Amino acid sequence: MERVPITVTVNGRTYTAEVEPRLLLVHFIRDVLNLTGTHIGCDTTSCGACTVIWNGRPVKSCTVFAVQADGTEILTVEGLERDGQLHPVQEGFWEEHGLQCGYCTPGMMMTAVALLAENPDPTEEEIRAAISGNLCRCTGYVNIVKAIQYAARKMRESATAGVGGA
């Protein structure tokens, strides 16, 4: 099959590769770039485990072809941590026990990052609506919501103190 050259910036680093036009973005991220934090759950957009931030918006990467990402910027769960410091969302999941098996966690975190970028002080209902496209079979979502609330508080406190939180 014909291969197509693409250039994508992932987690601040630019990558160029030749890919088959049918290669899904999730497989490009995992198999070509070897960034395995983005999980493959259902390949049908139902679970959200493969959620990444694509040009500032949360996207289920199992529904996007890698060639569609040519020239774009992607943030994966590996790109959240900066200079040895967890992102407030990652810290929130740790502190509030927002995971059990961890399979949905990267997608939940990326969805939460996108939510908090758009709405720094979401209500519980807004958090639940934002993560409604991400399935968790373990937690019942209670601690996931608490984790996102924790991150929102921490990010607001950092912004008030003049410290970067994202």
> Where do the structural domains in the chain lie, given as residue ranges?
4-77, 88-159
pLDDT of residue 135: 94
Q: Which residues pair with 59 in a beta bridge?
A: 52
Between 105-118 and 142-161, two packed helices, what is the crossing angle to 10 degrees?
40
Confidence (pLDDT) at 45: 87
pLDDT of residue 164: 53
Domain boundaries 4-77, corresponding CATH code:
3.10.20.30
Distance between CA atoms of 116 and 47, rounded to whole angstroms?
A: 20
Instruction: Give the pLDDT score at 163.
Output: 57
pTM of the model: 0.93
Comparing CA positions, the residue from 129, 162, 165 lying closest to residue 150 is 165
Q: Which residue ranges in the chain fall short of pLDDT 70? A: 163-166
pLDDT value of residue 159:
87
Q: What span, in angstroms and rounded, lies between the C-alpha atoms of 166 and 157? A: 12
Question: What is the chain's Cα-based Rg?
Answer: 16
Distance CA 30, CA 36 (A): 5
CATH number of 88-159: 1.10.150.120
